[in-house]
Amino acid sequence: MASSGNFPVLNTLYRGQRGTDSNNYGNITDGNRDLKSSSSADAMQISSIEMLNSGKWYWEWCVVSPGGDRMMHSGVADSDRGNWDYAGSNSVYGQDTNEKSIHFHTYNQSVKKNGTDAGVYTGSNSTPSNGDVFGIALDIDNRKFYVHKNNTYYASGNPATGANPGATWSSTDFVSGFTPYFTVAGGTDANGVINFGQDSSFNGQKTAQTNADGNGFGNFFYAPPSDFLSICSANLPISSNIDPAQTDDNIPSKNFNVLSYASTGAASYTGLGFQPDLVWVKWRGGDQGNGLFDSSRGTSKVLQSDSATAEATSSGLTSFDSDGFTMGTYYNQSTRDYVAWCWRANGGTTTSFSDNINGNYQANVAGGFSIISYTGTGSTGYVTHGLGATPNFILSKDRGASYGWNVYLKSGGTVHSGYDSQLYLDSANDLATNQQVNVVPDSTKITMAGNEQINKSTNTYIMYAWADVAGYQKFGIYEGNGNADGPFVYTGFKPRMLFVKDLDRDENWVTFDTARDTVNTLERGLFWNATSAESTGSGSGFDIDALANGFKLRCSHDNLNGSSTYIFGAWADVPFKYNNTHP
C-alpha cells in the first residue's frame, strides 16, 4: 500500500488574536491529539492540515472525560482567518454569529452554523459518556455536514447517499477552504482525543480497529462512509497543472521562482528554470526602485511598484531568456546584490480581445497568472484574462499617467471584503474603503467601471492577475495578535516567497523569500512600496517561520503582526502533499 504521508494533528503553532491567553489552547499531549482544558476557559485547537473547496472527508474523536455536564465539539471554520470573529464574547470558534463555521456540540446534541443552531438535530441536553466515539463526515462537494455517535448518524443521516444532513451551506459561506478544529469545555477534567486516521485506539482509550478509507489510508474506529477520505497528505487535492507527479514542466518552480544574483558586470543570469514573462527586480543593498518588466510591454519598458510615475524606457532588462534573463546596466551595477521575483505567462504570445474593451492577454493557466494589456474606454466594461478561474489578486497601472498602482484582493472577511475595496501598491496607506472602483472578476473576465485610475478613455494600462492554485499559490487574510507568539497561517505548501500588508494602518508592503533567507527564519524584508534597502537579519524585528504547510509569525512587528487585519500572498517551494515532514 502506498504511503499515506502525514496525518494532521492539533496545531500548537496556531495563536489567534487571543494568543496572549494560553488557557484558550489547553493542554495538548500524546502526539498532539489529546486535548484537555487547563482552566475555566474553553480550550480549542485547529488541525495542522486544512482542506480546500473540494472532497469528502471523515474524522472522529473519543470522549475521555466529559467534564460533568459540559461539552466538547468539533467542526470546521473558514480557512480565511478574516471570517473568524475574535471580537466576540466567546473564547472558541463557532460561538459567535459573525463566524463562518459549522460544528457539533456533544452536550446539547445540536449542529451550530455560524454561531446559531442549525435546527436539524433537536435532542435534549445529554452529557456524553466516557468512551463515546463521535464522527464527522464533511461533504464539501455537495455542501453537507453529518455527525454520528457510536456509528449511529443523527436524524437518520446517510452521508453515502446524501440523505438528511445535519447542516448545509451556500457557496459563499466558506471562502478559502475548511479548517477542522476541536474544542473541550472549561474545567480541568474535560478531555478528548481526536483521530484523523492515525490511531483508532485514541491513545489507548479504546481497542484499536482496522477501518481505512476507500484509498486504503487511515486507521479509524468506525468505517468512513463510502467515498469519504481521511485527511492526510496523500489524499490532499493538488492541481494537476503543478503536480510534481505529473511532469517536470508543471512543478511550482517551473511557474514561479526567485533569482538572487550578485552583479559582476556580466549581463546574463540563469538558473531560474523557465523563461519568465514578468521580472520584478530590486537592489537589496540600497536606495533604488522596484523595477517591473514584462514580455507584453517589451524588454525596455519599466514600471516601478514604489512610484506612481508613468512607464519609462530603461537600460534594465534586455531579454527574457530560456533559463533566466539578460540585464542591461541599471539593475546590473557591479558589486551590487539583487533579487528578481519571476513569473511565467505565455512566452510573450498574446491573445487579442475586443468584445468590450480592446486589448490582449497572455495567460499561464497552470500557474494561475495572466498579463493583460488594454486601452481604457471611460465607461463600464471588461477585459479577458484567460485563466479559467477567478483571480484572487490583481494589480493594475496606467502606463502613461501618474496614477498609483491599484490593488484588488478577494479577502471575503467579515471586516474587509470584495474587490471594490482598494489599496495602492506604491503606498503604505491602509485600506481605502471609500474608493469604489467596482472591479468584479469571474472565471473569464474582469469587469470594471470607467474610473480614471483603471479605465480612462484612450489611456493604456497593464494588469497582472493571479488565481489561487492548490499546492502552489494562495492569497488570503489573517488577524494579527500583537504578540511574539503570533498566528499560524496555512497555505498548503512551504512558501518560496511571501508578501504581507496591513489593511488597518499605514504600513509597508513587506516581501520575503527563501532565495535571500536560505536558512529559516524569514527576516530579510524588502518593501514593494519603497526604494530602501532590505532589512538586515535579526535586527529588523521581522521573524517568520517558513513551514511545510504555511508560515508562523514569531514577532510583533506592526508590518506583520500588530493588532490589525493583514492580507498575504504566497508562492510555493514544495507542496505539502509531497513534503513528508511534520509542520
User: 468-491: per-residue pLDDT in tens?
Assistant: 988 889 998 888 888 888 888 989
- Residues 508-559 have pLDDT tens digits of 999 999 999 998 889 999 999 999 999 876 667 899 999 988 999 999 999 9
**C-alpha gyration radius of the chain:** 25
Per-residue pLDDT at 204 exceeds 90? yes
Alpha carbon dihedral 353, 358, 359, 361, in 10-degree steps, equals -30
Residue 239 · residue 495 · CB < 8 Å: no
Per-residue pLDDT at 73 exceeds 70? yes
- The predicted pLDDT at position 86 comes to 42
Half-sphere exposure of 406 (CA within 13 A, CB side): 28
- Residues 261-313 have pLDDT tens digits of 999 776 899 999 899 999 999 999 999 999 999 999 999 899 999 999 999 99
Domain with CATH 2.60.120.920 in the chain: 22-235
User: What is the pLDDT averaged over residues 499-513?
Assistant: 94
- The predicted pLDDT at position 125 comes to 60
Q: Which sign does the torsion angle of CA 151, 128, 221, 110 carry?
A: positive
- The predicted pLDDT at position 68 comes to 59
- The predicted pLDDT at position 25 comes to 67
User: What is the pLDDT averaged over residues 335-340?
Assistant: 95
Most confident of 240-254, 271-285, 566-580: 271-285
Sheet holding 526-527, edge to edge: 473-479, 565-575, 493-502, 510-513, 526-527
Per-residue pLDDT at 85 exceeds 60? no
Measure the CA–CA gap between 166 and 164, rounded to whole angstroms: 7
Measure the CA–CA gap between 169 and 180, rounded to whole angstroms: 16
Per-residue pLDDT at 21 exceeds 50? no
Indicate the pLDDT class of residue 132, thresholds 50, 70 and 90: very high
How is residue 19 annotated by DSSP?
T
Identify the bridge partners of residue 552 per DSSP, sorted by sequence position. Answer: 488, 545
Per-residue pLDDT at 384 exceeds 90? yes
Indicate the pLDDT class of residue 18, thresholds 50, 70 and 90: very low
- The predicted pLDDT at position 362 comes to 98
Per-residue pLDDT at 71 exceeds 80? no
Per-residue pLDDT at 415 exceeds 70? no
- The predicted pLDDT at position 70 comes to 56
Measure the CA–CA gap between 494 and 172, rounded to whole angstroms: 28
Instruction: Report the percentage of the chain scoring pLDDT > 70.
Output: 83
Which cell is 536 given? 538586515
- The predicted pLDDT at position 234 comes to 85
- The predicted pLDDT at position 452 comes to 83
Measure the CA–CA gap between 326 and 268, rounded to whole angstroms: 4
Per-residue pLDDT at 412 exceeds 50? no
Among candidates 59, 68, 65, 142, which has minimal Cα distance to 103?
59
- The predicted pLDDT at position 414 comes to 42
Higher-confidence residue of 516 and 28: namely 516
Average pLDDT in the chain: 84
**Looking at this protein, which amino acid is placed at residue 44?**
M
Instruction: Could you please state the CATH topology (level 3) that the domain comprising 22-235 is classified under.
Output: Jelly Rolls (2.60.120)
Residue 371 · residue 345 · CB < 8 Å: yes
Strands 445-448 and 440-441: antiparallel
Indicate the pLDDT class of residue 62, thresholds 50, 70 and 90: very high
Which cell is 44 given? 480549542
Instruction: Report the percentage of the chain scoring pLDDT > 90.
Output: 49
Residue 499 · residue 568 · CB < 8 Å: yes
- Which of the residue ranges 275-279, 424-428, 438-442, 504-508 would you say has the lowest mean pLDDT? 438-442
Lookup result for grid cell 464539501: 140
Per-residue pLDDT at 17 exceeds 60? no
How is residue 155 annotated by DSSP?
G
Chain mean position to CA 92? 22
Higher-confidence residue of 153 and 316: namely 153
- The predicted pLDDT at position 578 comes to 58
Q: Which pairs from 111-118 meet CB under 8 Å and 24+ separation?
A: 111/145, 111/147, 111/166, 111/167, 112/73, 112/75, 113/167, 113/169, 114/173, 115/85, 118/166, 118/167
Indicate the pLDDT class of residue 94, thresholds 50, 70 and 90: very low
- Residues 133-182 have pLDDT tens digits of 999 999 999 999 999 999 999 989 999 999 999 889 887 777 778 889 88
Measure the CA–CA gap between 177 and 185, rounded to whole angstroms: 26
